[in-house]
Structure 1
């Protein structure tokens, strides 16, 4: 784009110089410079606008993909939890099971050890007075960790 604008300006100046007096050349040269500058500004503004639009679209698409992956991970965890632990899932809706995942991920992000998290899952996964066994809690942790 810059080469084209420079070529346009140079051509305009050369044509102006070919058939004009000194004052006319100055006026036409200044006018050509103004036109070239305006054209370059318009092109730059259009390019910046297009780049902003592309950046916004890419950002939106990335957020949508991330949201879809998170939803898929939650759905996968919920389904696996229900299949592996029907006694702990009985009567719970998907949101309640998703909360177990969210709390487990928060514990992982907080830097808690696997042993601490698994021990906490025994109570966290409790349902109708039935606590998760240590094996169930470990299994829940193993399902949750990749989803985090």
Structure 2
């Protein structure tokens, strides 16, 4: 089943430039945000929310079977929890294993290919702060 992976690729190419642009609009950013600050500022929290929202839209489009029965909060939790593990430096195999558990809902479980695709999607979207 290569359709979800092809769709994921298309969605990533469509969504990532917009997500990246949200973080690079230097002229319009608020003067209270410091780019050197490592703690979450309101701007980075907003960007993370934009990324989480973009992830939810992308996830629904690429994996309708896995998205079925989940609201946006549940889908964004998949993103934020997985992103936090990636950013904390957990080994990829442990993150993927935890992600597989997060993706399981009711009687639906993600295939290994779907889990890897979702992992890559999260890793790309959460790599930039």
TM-score, reference length from structure 1: 0.55
Partner residue, 1:134: 112
Q: Which residue pairs with 2:66 in the alignment?
A: 88
Pick aligned residue for 1:72 from 50, 55, 63: 50
Partners in 1 of 2:99 and 2:119 — Cα distance?
Answer: 8
Instruction: Please give the alpha-carbon distance, in whole angstroms, between the structure 2 residues aligned to 1:136 and 1:60.
Output: 37
Misfit runs of 4+, over 6 Å: none
* Matches of 1:74 and 1:65, distance apart in 2: 14
Superposed CA deviations along residues 22-78 of structure 1, whole A, max 9, x for unmatched, are xxxxxxxxxxxxxxxxxxxxxxxxxxxxxxxxxxx7226974432332221011111
- In 1: Cα distance, 2:123 partner to 2:31 partner: 29
How far did residue 81 of structure 1 move?
0.8
Aligned to 1:58: 31
Give the gaps of 5 or more residues in structure 1.
1-56
TM-score normalised to the size of structure 2?
0.62
Q: What is the distance in 2 between the residues matched to 1:111 and 1:67?
A: 20
CA distance in 2, matches of 1:144, 1:71: 13
Higher Rg of the two aligned structures = 1
RMSD, aligned CA: 2.0
- Per the TM alignment, residue 80 of structure 1 is displaced from its structure 2 partner at its CA by 1.0
